[in-house]
């Protein structure tokens, strides 16, 4: 079964951190691609080893990522 998940990737120091907000699972890598692939591996491992109850408890069904304008200064 395939499932679509969100990956938020940010530069941190000399590498990148990737976060899946639906499960609050993160990983890292030297490049954007490495961070994304490492996150994919971490998520697949989670789904392989977590109980159905843990998956149900942690999985957020709605995640919204948007931009907004704010007043600065």
Q: Mean pLDDT, consecutive 10-residue segments, the chain of 73 residues?
A: 94 98 97 98 98 95 93 94
The domain 1-73: what is its CATH number? 3.30.160.250
Q: Which residue has the tokens 């994919």?
A: 40
**Is the pTM higher than 0.85?**
yes
Q: What is the pLDDT of residue 1?
A: 86
> For 3-7, which contacts have Cβ atoms below 8 Å and span 24 or more sequence positions?
3/47, 5/43, 6/63, 6/65, 7/36, 7/39
């Amino acid at each position: 079964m395939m499932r679509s998940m969100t990956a938020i990737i940010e530069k941190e120091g000399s590498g990148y951190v990737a976060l899946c907000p639906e499960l609050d699972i993160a990983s890292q890598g030297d490049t954007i691609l490495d961070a994304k692939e490492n996150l994919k591996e971490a998520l697949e491992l989670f789904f392989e080893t977590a109980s159905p109850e843990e998956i149900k408890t942690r999985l957020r069904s709605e995640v919204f990522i948007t931009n907004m304008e704010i007043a600065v200064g």
